[in-house]
Every structure is written in C-alpha cells, then in structure tokens.
Amino acid sequence: MIVQRRAWAAVPAVAVLLLTAGCSSGGGGSPAGSTASKGTASGALPSERAAETPPAKGSVKVVRTVTEGLNSPWGLAPLPGGGLLVSSRDDATITRVDEKTGKKTDLGKVSGVDPAGEGGLLGIALSPDYASDHMIYAYFTSASDNRIVRMLYDDHKPAGEQLGAPDTVFKGIPKGFIHNGGRIAFGPDNMLYAGTGESGQKGLAQDRKSLGGKILRMTPEGEPAPGNPFPGSPVYTYGHRNVQGLAWDDKQRLFASEFGQDTWDELNAIKPGDNYGWPNVEGKSSDTKYHNPIAQWHTDEASPSGIAYVNGVIWMAGLRGQRLWRIPLKGTEAAAAPQSFLDGRYGRLRTVAAAGGDKLWLITSNTDGRGSPKDGDDRILELEVK
C-alpha cells in the first residue's frame, strides 16, 4: 500500500542563447535568436569554458518514425530497459511505446485529471529509484489545482490496468485555462524539479509565497529540498511566465525554456534564488534585479516546450514556431547563434529527450487543439543530431 505524503500547501493568492515564443510584456530585447549581453543579469552565472565547445553549426537527420497515432502527447520518459512512456494530456492516459516496433500498450488512465485548455496530464518522470520501486511521477491539472502524484507501474498486469492508484506527492500549484507549466524531472541530485506557470495571473510570478510562475525543487516525497534558497519553501527560482522545459548539462547546470507573451521567448540558465523578471520584463533587460536569458526568440519562431541536452548542445522543441532549435553551449553561455531545423515539416513540436549517443526522441503536438493534424499525427521521431 502506498502511503499518501503530506503535500506542501501554497499561500493563496545560462549564459546561453535567448529564444522567443509565447507570451510576455515589457522590455525590449535582442534580435531573434540572439545572445544576451554579458554583465546585465543579477547574479549571472560565471562564464565557464566547456572542455570542448561544440561546432557553431550542426545537423539533424530524421532516422525514422517510431510510432504514430498518439493523441495530445505531452510527457516522455524513456525506460531503462527499453521502451518509451508517453502521457496524453487530454485522455489522461500513459502509453508504453516499443521503440523498436512502434507497438503501443496502454498502461491505464490517471484518475483525478481534469483536462481543459492547456491543462491535463502533462509531464512524467521516473523515480530515481525506479529499478527497485517502479514508480512513475506525473504532473497534472485536477479540478482544483495542478499537482504531482506518483503511481506504481506493474507491467505484469493486463494492458489498461498497469497503473496503481495515484499517491499525491505535492499539491496547490495554481491552475488555469492557460499557463499550467507542467514539466517535471529528477536532477543529478535526485531532487524533483517542476516548472510551473502563473495560470494567467501575472502577479503570482513575483510572489514568492505562490507556487505559480516558478521552478520548484523538492524531495521525492514532496518536501522542500535541503539547500533551497528560501528556507522552508520549494521555490527555487521565480519571475517565470510558463516553464515547460528543464534539462541539465554534463556539469549538472540546469537550463529552462520559458514562453513569453508577445515579444520574447527565453532559454535561461538557472541560478537558485534568482528572479527571471516576469511580468516586469520579457526577454533581455538592463535592470540588474533580473536574470537575463541566454537566448531569446520572437514568439512566432519558438513557443518553447521541451528541451534536452546532448553533447554540448541544448535542443528545444517549438510549438508555434514548428521547428527544432539548436543552441550550442560554452559553459553557461550560447557559443553561437541558435540554428533551426525541421521548419514546418512536422508541425508543432512538444517534447525532446536524449536517446543515447547522438540521438534524440522528438514528439509532435498537432492534436492539441492548436495544430493542423495530418494522417499519422501525433508521432514520435528518432533523430540523429550533431
């Protein structure tokens, strides 16, 4: 039997390239796909030269289509023994995909999910002790909030009955028709990180007592993680609009993608305790109170969701931009201007995940109500990237 943990209750209420996509107001910025100026960010991370800087220009080869016919796919969690777990935002189901044959197996439906607008069953992640506990973590929109649960996965049971009852780990994240965030990931420190949105209520992003518009860091049991910048709080950084991408480089440095409003989407290097500016600024700012993005994009070029790190490069999926962005890193700065691939070829792109070596998994998002689905949508692609 899984014992429900005490959830943390909210009080009501990189030097890398900047990419733009999404929603935001205020402050000017650099040209699309430009790098941020140095020395203007509050608490900017030191410029660190990577042992080997990746080439300024890269390449993407679509190796194959892994599977087709997914409905509103959102989260992706590769299994250690093979197979890919995919969440469906609108169906509230988790599906296992055989990455060799494309065969899909329904694990079951996650109870308590209340899909609407941008909300539903969003990010998923495997427990750091998955080999022994077989737990899947999921971030979803309920009738009252956004929350994180964990479920036992038993693949010996019949299809559709393989998920145990959800155990609520963390609750109280503001929900909305838009800006629910939703990406979760376990970091190199085995702590659970979550990107949240301000649910359309701009003021929540600057309120450190609110869980909206934040990156959160917690233990696997949902308690504020040791070493967090604000004692007794799960808040790790604040001043975000809508965070849907989290990834670490090989030096254990965290990067996050963020939707802007009308001007700039962002890729940020994350420093604990820093203020990333929303709603007071969008994109790069000269105000030293705010941490500048390392790259920014016009909102019609990105609308960034998932990101992944492979061999010195951040890869970022664009929804409205309908392209995959490549941002080579030099420490916590962008080593060169962002480069786009697959422009419009597969429509909206939701999630990327490292697949080992120079490979990526990429999920499309054309059945999310904002795309134009074609035969076979939505799909998972295997990419070879450099």
Tally of domains in the chain: 1
- Give the number of other Cβ atoms within 10 Å of residue 356's Cβ: 9
Neighbour-count burial of 158, counting CB atoms closer than 10 A to its CB (0-12 exposed, 13-18 middle, 19+ buried): exposed
Is residue 233, in this structure, part of any structural domain at all? yes
| Residues paired with residue 359 on neighbouring β-strands, in sequence order | 384
- Coil, strand or helix: which one is 124? strand
Single-letter amino acid code for the residue at 309? Y
Is residue 55, in this structure, part of any structural domain at all? yes
What the block records as the tokens of 208 is: 């450190």
State the pLDDT at residue 33.
Answer: 53
User: Can you tell me the distance from the alpha carbon of 262 to that of 260, in angstroms, rounded to the nearest whole number?
Assistant: 6
Contact yes or no for 41/288 (Cβ under 8 A): yes
Is residue 1, in this structure, part of any structural domain at all? no
Neighbour-count burial of 248, counting CB atoms closer than 10 A to its CB (0-12 exposed, 13-18 middle, 19+ buried): middle
State the pLDDT at residue 23.
Answer: 38
State the pLDDT at residue 179.
Answer: 99
Is residue 112, in this structure, part of any structural domain at all? yes
Is residue 4, in this structure, part of any structural domain at all? no
Is residue 13, in this structure, part of any structural domain at all? no
Tell me the CATH number at 87.
2.120.10.30
Is residue 354, in this structure, part of any structural domain at all? yes
Is residue 336, in this structure, part of any structural domain at all? yes
User: Can you tell me the distance from the alpha carbon of 26 to that of 359, in angstroms, rounded to the nearest whole number?
Assistant: 38
Contact yes or no for 158/171 (Cβ under 8 A): no
pLDDT in tens, the chain (386 residues): 333 344 454 433 333 343 333 333 333 333 345 444 333 333 334 334 445 799 999 999 999 999 999 999 999 999 999 999 999 999 999 999 999 999 999 999 999 999 999 999 999 999 999 999 999 999 999 999 999 999 999 999 999 999 999 999 999 999 999 999 999 999 999 999 999 999 999 999 999 999 999 999 999 999 999 999 999 999 999 999 999 999 999 999 999 999 999 999 999 999 999 999 999 999 999 999 999 999 999 999 999 999 999 999 999 999 999 999 999 999 999 999 999 999 999 999 999 999 999 999 999 999 999 999 999 999 999 999 99
Note the pTM of the prediction, 2 decimals: 0.89
Minimal CA–CA distance to 87: which of 151, 145, 1? 151
Relative to beta strand 254-258, strand 265-269 is antiparallel
Minimal CA–CA distance to 316: which of 328, 329, 331, 326? 326
User: Can you tell me the distance from the alpha carbon of 67 to that of 23, in angstroms, rounded to the nearest whole number?
Assistant: 32
State the pLDDT at residue 331.
Answer: 96
Give the ranges where the chain is alpha helix by DSSP (H): 130-133
Cis check: omega of the bond before 80, within 30 degrees of 0: no
| Domain coverage including residue 160 | 18-385
State the pLDDT at residue 52.
Answer: 78
